[in-house]
């Protein structure tokens, strides 16, 4: 997880849960890069369902 999310005042208003989700998405993006999941423009995309996020973060789908 990027330390800058906790040290830079630009991100001060983000909740810890939002920062955690960002870290999880970054991790998932590395898997997408490894598997070469790219769209027509060469941009990386990820597969990460709301159910998966909910289970990993221990919260309900409405919160996700």
Whole-angstrom distance, CA of residue 29 vs CA of residue 20:
14
Residue 24 within a domain: yes
Residue 48 within a domain: yes
Q: Mean pLDDT, consecutive 10-residue segments, the chain of 64 residues?
A: 93 94 94 94 93 94 91
Q: How many domains does the chain have?
A: 1
Look at residue 3 in the predicted model and tell me its pLDDT: 93
Domain that holds residue 41: 4-57
Residue 62 within a domain: no
Find, among 16, 23, 18, the residue nearest to 2 by Cα: 23
Look at residue 1 in the predicted model and tell me its pLDDT: 86
Look at residue 32 in the predicted model and tell me its pLDDT: 94
Look at residue 59 in the predicted model and tell me its pLDDT: 93
């Amino acid at each position: 997880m990027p330390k800058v999310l906790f040290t830079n005042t630009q991100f001060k208003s983000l909740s810890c849960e939002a920062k955690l989700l960002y870290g999880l998405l970054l991790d998932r993006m590395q898997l997408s890069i490894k598997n070469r999941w790219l769209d027509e423009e060469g941009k990386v995309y990820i597969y990460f369902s709301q159910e998966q996020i909910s289970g990993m973060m221990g919260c309900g789908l409405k919160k996700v």
